[in-house]
């Protein structure tokens, strides 16, 4: 008789087995790229449920993206259904008929999957707040109800901008709302209150930021809205201050799993701690007999420190939750080091690269596959040539390999803006592609408009949404009318909606446009009557029709309008899909999922298309063929990180993530110059990361000297080409020397520079010019200083003096 319980351990390596077998207590799974991390997670959940009899409702699994959550649910569903087929029919899954398979999956879905809490931190804790936010006691006495709206980053920025310009009467040019928003967010994440910030900050600017913060918090509460930070911070405060609430959730979630643990921040860590130990000191916590904390991550793949992620949280896991054992104790840590994804060549390159980082847990990826092809490195003239060359390479591969499809290929880049040139090449060759990321679907104007209607229906206090749709589509309600209405609401201290829905007040205030306002109110009132009896998808349909939104789009004959109509249809489809996937679908749930969705979540990956995306969005994915473009100093690594060792290490981890996405073939490329947003051409050196990959793993245009510097002849090549182009982007070299002398007044201004010259830099010391780039206003020089990668400087600005002629 086949032992059913071993099902979820079959086919796993010893390390994976011990992870999956883990029952209670803390466990850190250090899982390298492609080492079967997701497999360990899903198998462990299945194992907990079927082997240890854990109630699915007691499991909380945190993923990094909604997409990952969805995938995990699907894989679990299949795993458990396969097992059920053996129990129920006594035969393997593959031999079942499709209808039988579907029936089993439905059963598993309804009995098990729906009960699990799987999702991102934000989604899960938004869900928790839907239960308990009314029990939250704010220090400033602010209040929220369960009908709260979730403001995404752009909503939050709108609010801050309002506060800066209207309430504080500041010039938004001097006090940029974006920066103030950022300062508020980081204060929030450090747990600093406005009053504390006001006290500790000095100078006018700091005080004003603190004031904006205080007003912003008040404003959020007045709108009954939370921003992304609040979705995590309020639960921390709530669970800390309210023992009953904390106890409830602590008892409820006995088994907590966190994926991508290296990318958690302090707030998220606090949440996990509170839930796991019920507020007790984790290192003293000893009631593990029926509960566990299981985290999976790879410090080498931590790429979100700009969002306050801190991979030292992962590195401290054993000390935090542990048994005071040594860091290598196998009781609380398992290392998955066998890579099943990439060829050994690709892995060697990745391993070499990542060892340049100082701060990391020592770990090596062991190859389980063959050597594979060398990594192809291509040097291109500019970004257009690079795009052409990448597309050309991929076309050749596609033509030569019957079993490779476009869908097996990905082009990865550092910044979203890089996609455009590549798209143009792909269009030219009629190659199907899909761009992941960039403008979020839910950030499109028409989508935000319709969602604002829905938010207003649920949460009448949501003034941001009200103002968004009051005159959309046009109802003849202009600026003056809006001003009068908001003034009234300010004076009376009541929400704008209360003014707008007061017919007499509107008639006395609204003047000529009162008619439009009253019409709008009637619309909202009518829609509210439909709220209870209508599904999200139908309600959206109703909003679009009754508001006149769709007829305005139909009357508009531009291409824009056509696309907007399609997007609205897509929104209805998304709502329908949400209804299918959720047990008790309601508008609020749909709005929450919309606010927390990212662009990569709902893309149909089945179609046969090349995927274009940023390195960040590629985390967790794999492709047989990967092309990593724009490997240039200043672009990747980003210019903001070049002088900051910690930031550079993060860029290197990002590069590591990129390399390890590839299964079979990896292409790297860099351009010698690149156009920055339509304007000037900027010269570019190959990325330092290229020099950190051993030459013997590379083929193609390998830089001769240490990788990070250009070949000397390249400069000549390029000048010749520029001449040939006859564009006026570059004046001729001799003119250049004359025109430098004009404006800039650094110590190096007006001097002439050539390769081989020795220079003295105020900060970096003595160096040698290795290259000059461009000419005229655009001239810059590359200097090699001792112990550093070459720096590109503007001779008119940099504090440099010539030493001797070379």
Partner DNA sequence: TCCAAGAGACTTTTT
Partner DNA sequence: GTCTCTTGGA
Within 10 A of 424 (CB to CB), how many other CB atoms are there?
13
Per CB under 7 A, 238 contacts DNA = no
Using the rule CB under 7 A, give the single segment among 29-37, 532-540, 564-572, 591-599 that binds DNA. 591-599
What residue has token string 């995404």? 152
CB of 781 to DNA, least distance (A): 22
**Angle, helices 514-531/445-458, rounded to nearest 10 degrees:** 70
How far is the C-alpha of 546 from the C-alpha of 242, rounded, in Å?
44
Per CB under 7 A, 616 contacts DNA = yes
- For this structure, is 259 an active site residue? yes
CB of 594 to DNA, least distance (A): 12
Using the rule CB under 7 A, give the single segment among 275-283, 522-530, 599-607, 770-778 that binds DNA. 599-607
How far is the C-alpha of 276 from the C-alpha of 297, rounded, in Å?
18
Per CB under 7 A, 600 contacts DNA = yes
Tokens of 435: 């761009």
CB 341 within 8 A of CB 681: no
Per CB under 7 A, 480 contacts DNA = yes
Closer of 165 and 535 to DNA (Cβ):
165
Among 459, 614, 687, 714, binds DNA (CB under 7 A): 614
- For this structure, is 260 an active site residue? yes
Within 10 A of 205 (CB to CB), how many other CB atoms are there?
14
Per CB under 7 A, 228 contacts DNA = yes
Closer of 411 and 537 to DNA (Cβ):
411
CB of 473 to DNA, least distance (A): 9
Closer of 27 and 596 to DNA (Cβ):
596
CB of 768 to DNA, least distance (A): 29
Within 10 A of 356 (CB to CB), how many other CB atoms are there?
15
Per CB under 7 A, 151 contacts DNA = no
DSSP 579-634: HHH-SS--HHHHHHHHHH--TTTT----SS-EEEEEHHHHTT--EEEEEE---BTB
Q: Which residues contact 539 (CB under 8 A, 6 or more apart)?
A: 454, 457, 527, 530, 531, 587
Closer of 228 and 453 to DNA (Cβ):
228
Per CB under 7 A, 417 contacts DNA = yes
CB of 300 to DNA, least distance (A): 16
Among 474, 525, 528, 732, binds DNA (CB under 7 A): 474
Per CB under 7 A, 66 contacts DNA = yes
CB of 338 to DNA, least distance (A): 28
Per CB under 7 A, 425 contacts DNA = no
Closer of 386 and 757 to DNA (Cβ):
386
- For this structure, is 577 an active site residue? no
- For this structure, is 324 an active site residue? no
| Terminal-to-terminal C-alpha distance of the chain | 83
What residue has token string 């609020």? 588
Per CB under 7 A, 534 contacts DNA = no
**Nearest one of 646, 74, 645 to 311, comparing CA atoms:** 646
Name the phi and psi angles at 142, rounded to 5. Answer: -75, 155
Q: What residues does 61 pair with on adjacent strands?
A: 118, 257
Per CB under 7 A, 638 contacts DNA = yes
Closer of 16 and 513 to DNA (Cβ):
513
Between residue 109 and residue 148, which ones bind DNA under the rule CB under 7 A? Answer: 120-123
Among 219, 292, 389, 481, binds DNA (CB under 7 A): 481
How far is the C-alpha of 702 from the C-alpha of 646, rounded, in Å?
27
CB 152 within 8 A of CB 199: no
Output the 3-class SS for 671-740: EEEEECCCCCEEECCECHHHHCCCHHHEEECCCCCCCCCCCHHHHHHHHHHHHHHCCCCCCCHHHHHHHC
Closer of 652 and 715 to DNA (Cβ):
652
Closer of 278 and 638 to DNA (Cβ):
638
Tokens of 427: 């269009």
- Angle at CA 30, nearest 5°, toward 374 and 70? 85
Per CB under 7 A, 366 contacts DNA = no
Per CB under 7 A, 176 contacts DNA = yes
Tokens of 786: 């001792």
How far is the C-alpha of 63 from the C-alpha of 733, rounded, in Å?
55
CB of 654 to DNA, least distance (A): 7
Per CB under 7 A, 293 contacts DNA = no
Closer of 264 and 318 to DNA (Cβ):
264
What residue has token string 């507020």? 279
CB of 445 to DNA, least distance (A): 6
Using the rule CB under 7 A, give the single segment among 93-101, 386-394, 434-442, 758-766 that binds DNA. 434-442
CB of 680 to DNA, least distance (A): 11
Q: Active site residue: 379, 661, 778, 791, which one? A: 661
Q: Active site residue: 7, 37, 83, 120, which one? A: 37
Q: How many CA atoms lie within 13 A of 528 on its CB side?
A: 13
How far is the C-alpha of 446 from the C-alpha of 768, rounded, in Å?
56
Between residue 735 and residue 764, which ones bind DNA under the rule CB under 7 A? Answer: none
Between residue 497 and residue 516, which ones bind DNA under the rule CB under 7 A? Answer: 512-513
Q: Active site residue: 132, 152, 259, 263, which one? A: 259
Long-range contact pairs involving 305-312 (C-beta distance under 8 Å, separation at least 24)? 305/646, 305/647, 305/650, 307/265, 308/186, 308/189, 308/265, 308/266, 308/267, 309/262, 309/263, 309/264, 309/265, 310/264, 310/265, 310/266, 310/269, 311/262, 311/263
Closer of 116 and 470 to DNA (Cβ):
470
Closer of 440 and 791 to DNA (Cβ):
440
Alpha helix locations (H) across 163-202? 177-189, 194-200
Closer of 516 and 774 to DNA (Cβ):
516
Q: Active site residue: 24, 38, 101, 157, which one? A: 38
- For this structure, is 650 an active site residue? no
Q: Active site residue: 42, 301, 345, 481, which one? A: 301
Per CB under 7 A, 631 contacts DNA = no
Per CB under 7 A, 445 contacts DNA = yes
Among 3, 281, 400, 677, binds DNA (CB under 7 A): 677
- For this structure, is 661 an active site residue? yes
Q: Active site residue: 152, 260, 408, 599, which one? A: 260
- Asked whether the bond before 677 is cis by omega within 30 degrees of 0, the reply is no
Q: Which residues contact 721 (CB under 8 A, 6 or more apart)?
A: 381
Contact set with DNA (CB under 7 A): 64-66, 120-123, 152-153, 173, 176, 178, 228, 303-304, 306-307, 414-417, 420, 437, 439-440, 445, 471, 474-481, 512-513, 596, 598-601, 614, 616-617, 638-641, 647, 676-679
Residues annotated as catalytic (active site), given as ranges: 37-38, 259-260, 301, 661
């Amino acid at each position: 008789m086949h032992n059913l319980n071993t099902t979820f351990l079959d086919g796993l390596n010893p390390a994976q087995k011990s992870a999956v077998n883990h029952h209670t207590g803390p466990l850190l799974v250090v899982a390298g790229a492609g080492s079967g991390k997701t497999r360990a997670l899903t198998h462990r959940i299945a194992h907990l449920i079927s082997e240890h009899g854990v109630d699915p409702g007691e499991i909380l699994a945190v993923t990094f993206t909604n997409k990952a959550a969805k995938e995990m649910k699907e894989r679990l569903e299949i795993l458990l259904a396969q097992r059920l087929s053996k129990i129920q029919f006594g035969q393997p899954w593959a031999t079942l008929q499709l209808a039988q398979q579907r029936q089993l999956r439905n059963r598993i879905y309804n009995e098990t999957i729906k009960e699990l809490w799987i999702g991102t931190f934000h989604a899960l804790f938004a869900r928790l707040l839907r239960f308990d936010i009314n029990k939250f006691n704010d220090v400033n006495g602010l209040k929220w109800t369960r009908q709260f709206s979730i403001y995404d980053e752009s909503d939050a920025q709108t609010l801050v901008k309002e506060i800066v310009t209207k309430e504080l009467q500041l010039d938004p040019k001097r006090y940029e709302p974006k920066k103030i928003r950022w300062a508020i967010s980081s204060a929030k994440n450090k747990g600093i209150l406005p009053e504390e910030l006001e006290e500790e900050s000095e100078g006018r600017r700091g005080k004003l930021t603190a004031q904006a913060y205080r007003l912003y918090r008040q404003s959020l509460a007045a709108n009954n809205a939370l921003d992304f930070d609040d979705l995590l911070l309020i639960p921390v405060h709530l669970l800390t201050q309210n023992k009953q609430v904390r106890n409830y959730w602590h008892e409820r979630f006995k088994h907590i799993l966190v994926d991508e643990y290296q990318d958690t921040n302090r707030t998220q860590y606090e949440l996990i701690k509170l839930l796991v130990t019920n507020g007790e000191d984790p290192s003293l916590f000893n009631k593990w007999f029926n509960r566990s904390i299981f985290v999976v991550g790879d410090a080498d793949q931590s790429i979100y420190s700009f969002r306050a992620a801190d991979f030292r949280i992962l590195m401290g896991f054993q000390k935090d939750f542990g048994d005071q054992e040594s860091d290598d104790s196998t009781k609380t840590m398992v290392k998955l080091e066998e890579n099943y994804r990439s060829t050994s060549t690709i892995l060697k390159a990745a391993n070499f690269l990542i060892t340049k980082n100082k701060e990391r847990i020592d770990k090596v990826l062991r190859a389980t596959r063959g050597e594979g092809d060398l990594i192809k490195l291509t040097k291109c003239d500019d970004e257009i040539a690079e795009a052409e060359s990448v597309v050309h390479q991929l076309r050749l591969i596609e033509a030569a390999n019957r079993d490779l499809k476009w869908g097996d290929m990905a082009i990865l880049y550092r910044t979203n803006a890089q996609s455009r040139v590549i798209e143009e090449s792909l269009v030219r060759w009629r190659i199907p592609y899909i761009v992941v990321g960039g403008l979020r679907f839910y950030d499109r104007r028409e989508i935000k408009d319709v969602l604002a209607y829905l938010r207003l229906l649920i949460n009448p206090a949501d003034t941001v949404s009200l103002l968004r749709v009051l005159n959309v589509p046009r109802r003849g309600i202009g600026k003056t009318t809006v001003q009068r209405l908001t003034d009234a609401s300010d004076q009376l201290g009541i929400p704008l909606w209360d003014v707008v829905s007061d017919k007499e007040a509107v008639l006395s205030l609204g003047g000529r446009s009162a008619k439009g306002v009253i019409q709008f109110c009637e619309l909202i009132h009518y829609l509210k009557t439909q709220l209870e009896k209508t599904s999200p998808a139908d309600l959206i349909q109703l909003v679009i029709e009754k508001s006149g939104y769709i007829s305005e789009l139909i009357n508009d004959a531009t291409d824009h309008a056509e696309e907007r109509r399609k997007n609205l249809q897509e929104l209805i489809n998304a709502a329908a899909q949400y209804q299918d996937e959720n047990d008790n679908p309601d508008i609020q749930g749909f709005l929450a999922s919309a606010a927390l969705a990212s662009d990569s979540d709902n893309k149909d990956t089945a179609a046969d298309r090349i995927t274009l995306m940023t390195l960040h969005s590629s985390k967790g994915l794999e492709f047989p063929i990967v092309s990593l473009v724009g490997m240039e100093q200043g672009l990747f690594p980003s210019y903001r990180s070049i002088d900051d060792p910690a930031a550079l290490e993060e860029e290197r981890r990002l590069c590591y993530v990129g390399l390890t996405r590839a299964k079979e073939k990896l292409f790297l490329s860099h351009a010698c110059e690149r156009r920055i947003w339509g304007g000037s051409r900027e010269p570019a050196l190959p990325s330092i990361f290229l020099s950190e990959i051993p030459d013997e793993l590379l083929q193609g245009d390998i830089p001769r000297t240490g990788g990070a510097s250009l070949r000397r002849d390249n400069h000549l090549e390029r000048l010749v080409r520029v001449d040939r182009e006859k564009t006026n982007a570059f004046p001729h070299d001799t003119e250049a020397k004359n025109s430098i002398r004009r404006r800039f007044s650094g110590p190096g201004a007006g001097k002439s520079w050539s390769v081989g010259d020795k220079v003295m830099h105020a900060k970096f010391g003595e160096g040698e010019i290795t290259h000059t780039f461009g000419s005229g206003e655009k001239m810059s020089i590359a200097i090699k200083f001792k112990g550093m990668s070459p720096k590109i400087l503007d001779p008119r600005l940099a504090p440099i003096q010539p030493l001797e002629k070379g």
